[in-house]
Amino acid sequence: MKKLILLCFSFLCLTQTGIGQELYREGFILTSPFDTTRGQIKYYSYNKAAIQCVFRNGDTGEEKVYQPEDIYGYGIEDKLLFNSKQIDNKQAVFLEVIYEGTMRLYGYRDRFRRNYFYLENTTTGDFEALTEKVIGDKLRNRVFKPYLDVLKLMLDKSDLILDRIEKTALTHKSLTNLLVEYDKRYANFKGKVLLGSKEQWPPTTGFYLIQGNAQQKLGDYSGTGNSYLAGVGVKFQKEISRGTKRLYLDLDLSLSYESFSQTYKRTEEVTDQSIVTNGLNFAFISTNTDIRGDVDHETTVDLRRLNLGMPINIKYVFPGKKWLFTINSGINPQHALTKSGQIHGVLRQNESVLIDITSQEDTERFRMAVNVGFGIQLKTQRTYFLDFQHSPSWFNQGILKYKYSFVRIGLLLDK
pLDDT at 363: 80
| 0.85 exceeded by pTM | no
Q: Is 184 in the same domain as 38? A: yes
In SS3 terms, 103-153 reads as EEEEEEECCCCCEEEEEEECCCCCEEEECCEEEECCCCEEEECHHHHHHHH
How far is residue 391's CA from residue 327's CA, in Å, rounded to a whole number?
A: 14
Whether residue 302 sits in one domain with residue 156: no
210 in the same domain as 348: yes
Distance CA 248, CA 330 (A): 12
Provide φ and ψ at 231, rounded to 5°: -175, 180
Give the long-range contacts of residues 352-359, CB within 8 A, separation 24 or more.
354/291, 354/295, 355/282, 357/281, 357/282, 358/281, 359/280, 359/281
In this model, does residue 19 exceed pLDDT 50?
A: no
Contact by Cβ (8 Å): 385, 376: yes
The H or E element containing residue 210 is strand 204-218
Last residue of a domain, one of 142, 170, 198: 198
Total count of residues recorded for the chain: 415
* pLDDT tens-place string over residues 200-223: 557 889 999 999 999 999 988 999
Query: Whole-angstrom distance between the N-terminal and C-terminal Cα of the chain?
Result: 36
Q: Report which DSSP code applies to 203.
A: P
**Residue after which a domain boundary falls, among 198, 230, 265:** 198
* 151 in a structural domain: yes
Other Cβ atoms within 10 Å of 187 Cβ, number: 16
Does 194 lie in the same domain as 210?
no
The helices-and-strands tally (H runs, E runs) of the chain is 6, 27
Q: Which of 167, 198, 229 is the last residue before a domain boundary?
A: 198
**pLDDT tens per residue across span 164-192:** 889 999 988 899 999 998 888 887 777 78
Tell me, yes or no, whether 8 lies in a domain. no
CA atoms within 13 A on the CB side of 136: 7
Confidence of residue 18 (pLDDT cuts 50, 70, 90): very low
Same domain? 167 vs 226: no
Of 1-5, 99-103, 141-145, 255-259, minimum mean pLDDT range:
1-5
Range of lowest pLDDT (56-60, 72-76, 124-128, 393-397): 393-397
Domain extent for 238: 204-413
Do 35 and 91 fall within a single domain?
A: yes
Question: Is 109 within 8 Å of 50 (Cβ atoms)?
Answer: yes
